Amino acid sequence: MASPAKFTPPTPAEIQKVLDTCHRLNSTPAKLTPKRFFEIFMTTGNSEVAYLRRYWRTARGSQDTGVARSTKGELPLGSFHSSSSVGRTFFSHEEQRLQDTTMTTTHMPFLYGMINDVLNQRGPLNDQSEDDGVLKASNVPTTKHVEDPEPEEIGEVAYVQSLTGKDRTMARFDRIATTICSMVAFALNRRHNGLQLHNSVRFYACGVSERVQEYLNHLGLCSARRTALSALKTLSIEGQGSLKPVMSWQRGCPIAPTICIDNIDMEQHVHDISVGNRSNTFRGTWGYIHVPDPALLQTLNLEDLTLKAYLDSLERARDFTINPLHFMPTCEARESEVDVWKSQIAKVLMEHLAVPSDRSKAISTSPQALDQISHTKPTIHMLKLMDASDNSAEGIGQVFASLLQQSGLTSEHFYGHLQPMDGDLGTIQNFNSLKSQRAPSPYGCDSLSNVVFQLGASHTLWNIGLSIFSHHFGNSSDQSNVGAWQYLEALGFPSEKAIQKKDFTLMINQMEKTMEATLYYCLRVVMNNNNEILGDERVTLSTERWNAVVEDCYERFCSPHARREAAKAACPKLSNTLVQLHDFSSVVEAKRSMKSGDLTQILPPDLRKYLCHNLLISPSGRSNHFVAKDEWLKCQNYWIKFLFNQTGNGTSIDRLRDLFSINIGLLQEMYKSLKIDAGASIIHQSHNNHLSTKSLTMFMQMANNRDLLALNTPPKPEVHIKRDNTYLSGFGKMKKTIVPRTPSLKNSKSTCSFKNRAM
């Protein structure tokens, strides 16, 4: 609300004049109300009255009732915001609140107060019925605290009303009054365009059509579409300029910020085909710059992050003998694996079957963190979409030329510092191909010896998960085949949709559901109630009994001894189940470790720590909400390909490249700001992997009918194909590779850039 105007106490003479006036108005023969008096005074054609009101619009009158009186000119002296000079800070929530406060308290306090008074005449409202549906409409479980939701993946957002009841009504009235004041100021003078410029960019980001935006501009709610495009062009120039100081990295750090890149393909469709105007597929590359966390750098020895230290470590690798023992798990790794197994079993037991009487003494549902990454919100700068694809060695060279141009650095500076990069397997293979074509070369711009590529964590998980899932999937056309497809069908998921290369996250989620359902069945067998029908209620067990169930389940079905004994049986059914459970458990733990931020021997220790701690980021700045950097880039690809890509008149690559790619973060914030202005709060969440009671009941029926754990002797022999233990078969293949071919595994060093390397 606007602050009330300062009141000057009246003098006795003024009070007496007011009393005389009231007495005269109320006297007969014609009593007048104050409203009727002013109506006659302002509208009558009587010459004497008209003469008395001759000073009404002159400066000697009072200015307290000025409806729209805002400052003129361009900022900072006026209220005009030019689209050719607007900056990113203008679109921040704090800047918007400052503009609203200035409008309502300095420029138009009278109009703002009058509108608020009119709206508040209806009194406080009872919005309880509407508030009850807020959580349901937002898909937020009512059993969890709204302020601390538990999202699972990045990229999905829910909105919850932060205010309820009278507070929510007052906030809505305040927004209405503020908006009306801005509309009136814009209608009187279109240079008072703070809200309108903000809305024009916001509506464009939200996909409002040009026809609707033209109507909203007519009402005074937003500026024209061309103004929004001009503002985005200005912001793009600012964004490109911000890349240069980031890449120059003049803060005493010897290592450059990490660059994450990925290919992006989209079709530019042309309906009216002609010569030189045809549909084509755009194949480009996009990415971002990840500035290292200063707190992490303070814990490292900067001498280990230099290019010289990196190249010296590669030279030491020339004489380093790769021993198969390096690929074997250590004692600490074995202990960690047991801890992971028991935490996974405890999680399923806690969620679906029983709770311990004393949780503080029960086996933890989360394994102990080995190397925790800081969840500080990362500093990220998007790159401009590049007209070069990383699908070939030539394309990789063009990508590096574009990166050099966007960084604003000289060739000596760009290739004179250690440059970490993230990419998928295809990008790294093409990069190594380009290096081999240019080797040997004493020049950094040709040898690319300063670039160290890391395979993205998500791509690694997806590739390994796909191989494991395909290995255990089975034959869905054979009803007697007990592969992973049977598990999915029992859980109500169509098996033919499980393996999709366009949705690897869905595949990993289905593997997690399959693993948890299998552990659920194992626990039911351990608790000797696998043939009973259980309800939704969980029983309470003593902590000793609860821990004993977890330990027994691990020893019977999850330990190496259990898999060895199952492999000796004549029927491979139990062995297949336990091997699948073991393989799926590895993938699931990798996914959960990535989410929590929980993390070879050749690189310097501090350089190893730096690279490992830069594999994952927490975009929201919250603990246990990490995501792989390559997966986060995939989410940005989705935004620009399917949301900000206007398909009505065909895809415009120039618009996506010049206006959207480098402003993608700002446009996402604009997209979300509509709900924020409507009184909602943003929470980052996703669909949790949850197994319903009905799904588990159907799975138990399938597991008992198929006898997944070989508990009963079949009346007649069953024919099942024994699946290889991927862990053991992997070591077997390594043996075959080592003995006859390369005992020292020299081919593992093929991508290392040694000095004076022979052609």
When the pLDDT of each residue in the chain is averaged and rounded to a whole number, the result is: 81
> Does a cis peptide bond (omega within 30 degrees of 0) precede residue 124?
no
List CB contacts of 432: < 8 A, sequence separation 6 or more.
Answer: 751
Does 278 or 94 have the greater pLDDT score?
94
The token pair that represents 660 in the structure block: 């959207």
Task: Judge if the upstream peptide bond of residue 29 is cis by omega within 30 degrees of 0.
Answer: yes
Give the span between the Cα atoms of 284 and 268, in whole angstroms. Answer: 12
Asked whether the predicted pLDDT for residue 29 surpasses 90, the reply is no
Q: What is the pLDDT of residue 553?
A: 94
Question: What pLDDT, on a 0 to 100 scale, did the predictor assign at position 212?
Answer: 93
Range of 93-107, 275-289, 539-553, 734-748 with top mean pLDDT: 539-553
Contact 689, 509 (CB under 8 A): yes
pLDDT at residue 251, as a whole number? 60
Residues in the chain: 759
pLDDT on residue 372: 77
The beta-strand segments (E) located in 538-648 are 539-541, 616-617, 627-628
Whether the Cβ atoms of residue 722 and residue 483 lie closer than 8 Å to each other: no
pLDDT category at 26 given cuts 50, 70, 90 is confident
Calculate what percentage of the chain has a pLDDT beyond 90: 24
Model confidence pLDDT, tens digit, residues 389-426:
888 888 899 999 999 999 988 888 899 889 999 988 88
Candidates 428, 388, 393, 391; CA nearest to 404 is 388
pLDDT tens for 125-144 read: 555 444 444 444 444 444 44
Sign of the alpha-carbon torsion through 251, 256, 258, 260? positive
- When pLDDT is averaged across residues 9-14 and rounded to a whole number, the result is 85
Q: Give me the pLDDT at residue 739, please.
A: 63
- Rounded CA gap, 197 and 96, in Å? 11
Q: Which residues lie across from 286 on neighbouring strands?
A: 262
Cα separation values, 511 from 71, 498, 515, 584, 676, Å:
62, 9, 6, 6, 36
452-490 pLDDT tens trace: 998 888 888 888 888 898 889 888 888 888 888 989 999
The yes-or-no verdict on residue 754 having pLDDT over 70 is no
| Cβ atoms of residues 378 and 275 within 8 Å | no
pLDDT of 598 strictly over 60: no
Please tell me which of 408-412, 444-448, 741-745, 751-755 the model is most confident about, judged by mean pLDDT: 408-412
